Amino acid sequence: MTAASPPRIWTTAAVVVLLGGGAVIALSIGIRQSFGLFLQPMSEALGTGREVFAMAIAIQNLIWGATQPLFGAVADRWGAGRVVAVSGLAYAAGLYFMSAADGAFGLHLSAGLLVGLALSGTSFAVVLGAVGRAFPPERRPLALGLASAGGSFGQFVMVPVGQQFIGQYGWITALTLLAAIALAMVALGATLAQRDKDAPAAATSAASLGAAMAEARGHRGYQLLVAGFFVCGFHITFIGTHLPAYLSDRGLAADEAALALALIGLFNIFGSIICGVAGGRFAKKNVLSAIYVARSVVIGAFLMAPLSAWAAYAFAAAMGLLWLGTVPLTSALVAQVFGPRYMGALFGIVFFSHQIGAFIGVWLGGYVFDVTGSYDVVWWIAILLGLAATALHLPINERPLARVAAG
């Protein structure tokens, strides 16, 4: 008798959802990460301080986080493809109305509420839930890392594109053009709908969403994961929104500041993949702790070194390697412990904590700058939070629940 062939783990259907999901995240996160380029021109044109723009992004992150468990649960139940298609339309509408904003209310409604809702349906919990169900446990961390890298690729592409649009046409037309690009997510939703329809129910997960929520509430490791992800949100949203302005304030040209932001995306393409691979070989909690302590070291070195364009590029490259690598590790850890069936909803709750951190980080940056004329206090808070997150992840128990011992 001949030996049975090993099961295929990179099936055509799985690859389709991986590529389509990665493209959705690339557009969603890429456009979102370009918003920092609009802080100075919009604040000056509208006659507001930086806190108004920062508050809009803070509201966006809070809405994104608060609705993420709901969007994840809807995608788990009725399919990620439908959620992505509708949310892509909302994203384009939010960007268009952002271009027409004439004050704080319009900015908070468009960039805050509408884009926040759209991000909930086109980003990590929804897309990674579909990707996680498409792959077996032994390949899931790598697949999630590859999909997450789409956000980094999008940042690397869309930040220079956004800067080019602003430089050539002004911020109003730039936002209108980005709205047109966002419409591509509507069509990409079909790549996720195909897999949602064909994916079997996961026998390794809880019998119902309510049961899965109850399990998570009582799991200490899940609680620590929720607390630790707060720090990730604080870091990336403060840096992503305020870094271009910080560098411009310190004498760098707008193009140099935009390049630094783009380099974060470029290097995180590699960082997300490396973290995905590492998550398949080592304890995910240990890799997460290593990421957070490394972020604190990198930020501290950046603050103490003389600032130049090359120092900014080095900081961006180092931070990029650590940027979104937490996402595949955290989402894979949720699926590992609780099973993949309700991964969208359970990761959505963890992500809500991330967005509370994002709300505080981005708003605090604008507030502290308007009051003191400097971002220094917030940079040092970011360092201390990184060290706290390092300690929070170490005690997490990664073992699957007895019910999901098979993965």
144 or 99, greater pLDDT? 99
Q: Residue 71 pLDDT more than 70? A: yes
pLDDT, tens digit (0-9, with 9 covering 90-100), for 26-41: 999 999 989 988 988 9
Q: Which two tokens stand for residue 401?
A: 């629940």
Residue 308: pLDDT band (50, 70, 90) is: very high
pLDDT of residue 319: 95
pLDDT of residue 10: 64
Residue 400: pLDDT band (50, 70, 90) is: confident
What integer best gives the mean pLDDT of the chain?
86
Q: Residue 199 pLDDT more than 60? A: no
Q: Which long-range contacts (CB under 8 A, 24 or more apart) does 12-18 make?
A: 13/134, 13/194, 13/195, 13/198, 14/134, 14/135, 14/143, 14/195, 16/191, 16/194, 16/195, 17/130, 17/131, 17/134, 17/191, 17/192, 17/194, 17/195, 18/131, 18/134, 18/135, 18/143, 18/146, 18/147
pLDDT, tens digit (0-9, with 9 covering 90-100), for 327-353: 888 888 888 888 877 777 788 889 889
- Count of domains observed in the chain: 1
- Is residue 389 domain-resident? yes
Q: Residue 190 pLDDT more than 60? A: yes
Residues 336-374 as b/e (b if ≥16 CB within 10 A, e otherwise) read bbbbbbbbbbbbbbbbbbbbbbbbbbbbbbbbbbeeeee
Please, are residues 111 and 101 in contact by the beta-carbon 8 Å criterion?
A: yes
pLDDT of residue 404: 47
Where is mean pLDDT largest: 79-83, 194-198, 382-386? 382-386
Cα of 67 vs its chain's centroid, Å: 14
Mean pLDDT of 375-381: 96
**C-alpha distances in Å from residue 396, one per residue of 27, 288, 323, 334:** 33, 11, 21, 11
Spell out the residues 6+ positions from residue 55 whose beta carbon is closer than 8 angstroms to its own: 104, 108, 112, 363, 366
Helix (H) or strand (E) holding 179: helix 171-182
- Is residue 7 domain-resident? no
The residue type found at 390 is T
Spell out the residues 6+ positions from residue 208 whose beta carbon is closer than 8 angstroms to its own: none
Where is mean pLDDT largest: 121-125, 140-144, 339-343, 365-369? 365-369
Q: Residue 407 pLDDT more than 50? A: no
pLDDT, tens digit (0-9, with 9 covering 90-100), for 226-284: 999 999 999 998 998 899 889 999 999 988 998 998 899 889 888 878 887 888 788 99
- Is residue 10 domain-resident? no
Domain that holds residue 129: 16-404
Sign, CA dihedral 262-184-77-13, equals negative
Which CATH number is 304's domain given?
Answer: 1.20.1250.20
- Is residue 260 domain-resident? yes
Cα of 338 vs its chain's centroid, Å: 21
DSSP 196-256: HHHPPP-TTS-SSHHHHHHHHHT-HHHHHHHHHHHHHHHHHHHHHHHHHHHHHHTT--HHH
Q: 252, 387, 273: which is closest to 321 by C-alpha?
A: 273
Helix (H) or strand (E) holding 323: none
- Is residue 369 domain-resident? yes
Residue 204: pLDDT band (50, 70, 90) is: low
| Share above pLDDT 90 across residues of the chain, in percent, rounded to a whole number | 47
61 or 195, greater pLDDT? 61
- Is residue 333 domain-resident? yes
As to burial, measured by CB atoms within 10 angstroms (0-12 exposed, 13-18 middle, 19+ buried), residue 218 is exposed
DSSP 325: T
- Is residue 2 domain-resident? no
Mean pLDDT of 37-57: 88
CB neighbourhood size of 105 (10 A): 12
pLDDT, tens digit (0-9, with 9 covering 90-100), for 144-188: 878 878 877 888 889 889 999 999 999 999 999 999 999 999 999
Residue 9: pLDDT band (50, 70, 90) is: low
pLDDT of residue 214: 85
Please, are residues 346 and 401 in contact by the beta-carbon 8 Å criterion?
A: no
pLDDT of residue 166: 94
- Is residue 32 domain-resident? yes
Please, are residues 23 and 229 in contact by the beta-carbon 8 Å criterion?
A: no
pLDDT of residue 54: 87
Q: Residue 80 pLDDT more than 90? A: no
402 or 404, greater pLDDT? 402
